[in-house]
Structure 1
Amino acid sequence: MQTLSEVKNLAYAMMFTLHKVKSVNIEEFKPFFTNLPVDPYIKGNYRFRRLSRFKVLGDELIKLPHGYLFQSKKYNPLLGDIKREFAELDDAITKLEDFKKLVLAFIDYCQLDEQAVEIGVHQIRTTCSPDNYGNPAPEGIHKDGTDFVGIFSVGRNNIQGGETELYKSKKESPVFHKILNPGDLLLVNDDEFFHYTTPIQPLVSGEGTRDVFVLTCPSLLKD
């Protein structure tokens, strides 16, 4: 089993990589994004969210007990030093074989010992309308305060914008900028890069949605 220092050495070795996860059927996930609770910590009622943490035990993906999300203001100037609680991911989605494949793909791409790590999975929908643009990253250009971040795109419906950017410094131009299309998984070394996603607005009249899973290791969840 890898020690914590060995895990972190692997984290430092990986800068950022983009993968197309062809083994996962994203259609299995889409129905579960229609009933997400509103994020009560963001003004405007345009972001919806669930959050759970997991470990791998043998061939099984195990959901760990409920916890709260905590980040310091160093990493999240908007919502830092606040205990945030979100509803757990629906048990039905966590039991999907494709959900397990996604978590294992994240662990595998990051070269982690699957028996030794705890993964946080954020299920997030950002909405927009002609009168209310959606902001996937209201905290601005930021780090999460973890080792690895994975952003997996599930769906983009009637939107423009939502480009994901990576920065070595907040004062410099981005070193990476791309719209993540469904099936794309962007892996980021959180120690090395700041990240940000630009606001979204509808392509045509009506509501637009951007659906993603954000995976983190460690999970950032506390008991």
Structure 2
Amino acid sequence: MQKLGTATELEYAFLFTLRKVNSINPEGFKPFFSNMPIDPYIKGNYRSRRLSRFIVSGNGLIKLPHGYFFQSKEDNPLMGGIKREFAELDDALIKLDIFKNLVLAFSDSCKLHPEAEIGVHQIRITCSPGNFGNLAPEGIHQDGTDFIGIFSVDRDNIQGGEAHLYTAKKEKPVFSKVLNPGELLLVNDHEFFHFGNPIKPQTDAQGSLDVFVLTSPSLLSG
């Protein structure tokens, strides 16, 4: 994990890192990605999504009240300026030790301050031979938060979907990689733009990509 040099830079000193979270077996998450609600804000019905927000309390999590997701048009030219509402994460998912371990891994790796609010997006992207799955319909972008974590849960019958990081929109990526299940990419949103290539199926059957995206702050409000 890279660090900058001075105390005044400490808050945003984290750049990016990729780690394998050994305390998490992604197989335990898979049942919770079936029959998820379709994201109503994206055309094409290829993205499903849930969203909840938490704070870390000791070695546990406190789930915060339901909120609305909001980004500026500058950060998200496609969906910015819209107050979006998504279904909460399943209570049975939240109770899993592996879910707690994921949120704690994000908080610890980013060295978040106590009581920092964390948003957890549960996302499935699907694709078929005639319809590719667009991971980032808004293009190369920043989310408008401080820290981002992308955790890969499953890749089923797909190719593509590489994660890219850029220091500027018109520059070549400084990082490009397919995230394998169990890998967590951590990014300072102030320092990098990010993007994900569309996915397409490897065979004539449907394919899917399952991820958790964690952010702090959560960009949710009551």
Give the TM interval when normalised to the shorter protein: over 0.9
Which amino acid in structure 2 is aligned with residue 65 of structure 1? Answer: P
Checking the alignment, whether the CA contact within 8 Å between 2:57 and 2:115 is kept in structure 1 is: no
Q: Distance in 1 between matches of 2:22 and 2:191?
A: 27
Q: Offset at 1:56?
A: 1.8
Q: Distance in 2 between matches of 1:209 and 1:93?
A: 20
Aligned Cα RMSD in Å? 1.3
Q: Distance in 1 between matches of 2:10 and 2:206?
A: 41
Q: Offset at 1:96?
A: 0.4
State the TM-score, normalized to the length of structure 2. 0.95
Within-5 A mapping of 1:43-62: 43-62=43-62
State the partner residue of 1:35: 35
State the partner residue of 1:14: 14
Q: Offset at 1:116?
A: 2.1
Within-5 A mapping of 1:97-116: 97-113=97-113, 115-116=114-115
Give the direction of change, closer, same or farther, for the CA distance of 1:202–1:11 in structure 2 (3 Å limit): farther
Give the direction of change, closer, same or farther, for the CA distance of 1:11–1:189 in structure 2 (3 Å limit): farther
Q: Offset at 1:9?
A: 4.1
State the partner residue of 1:218: 217
Give the direction of change, closer, same or farther, for the CA distance of 1:159–1:8 in structure 2 (3 Å limit): farther
State the partner residue of 1:193: 192
Q: Offset at 1:8?
A: 9.0
State the TM-score, normalized to the length of structure 1. 0.94
Secondary structure (helix, strand or coil) at the match of 1:103 reads helix
Superposed CA deviations along residues 140-187 of structure 1, whole A, max 9, x for unmatched, are: 000000000000000000000000000011111001000000001000
Give the direction of change, closer, same or farther, for the CA distance of 1:203–1:153 in structure 2 (3 Å limit): same
State the partner residue of 1:4: none
Q: Offset at 1:202?
A: 0.2
Checking the alignment, whether the CA contact within 8 Å between 1:8 and 1:147 is kept in structure 2 is: no
Q: Distance in 2 between matches of 1:15 and 1:210?
A: 25
Percent identity reads: 69
State the partner residue of 2:91: 91
Q: Distance in 1 between matches of 2:142 and 2:152?
A: 19
Which amino acid in structure 1 is aligned with residue 181 of structure 2? Answer: P
Q: Offset at 1:206?
A: 0.6
Q: Distance in 1 between matches of 2:79 and 2:115?
A: 29
State the partner residue of 1:146: 145
Q: Offset at 1:60?
A: 2.4
Secondary structure (helix, strand or coil) at the match of 1:213 reads strand
Q: Distance in 2 between matches of 1:108 and 1:202?
A: 35
Runs of 4+ in structure 1 over 3 Å off: 7-11
What is the aligned residue count? 216
Checking the alignment, whether the CA contact within 8 Å between 2:20 and 2:183 is kept in structure 1 is: yes
State the partner residue of 2:157: 158
Which amino acid in structure 1 is aligned with residue 120 of structure 2? Answer: V
Which amino acid in structure 2 is aligned with residue 14 of structure 1? Answer: F
Q: Offset at 1:11?
A: 4.3
Q: Offset at 1:59?
A: 3.4
Checking the alignment, whether the CA contact within 8 Å between 1:11 and 1:148 is kept in structure 2 is: no
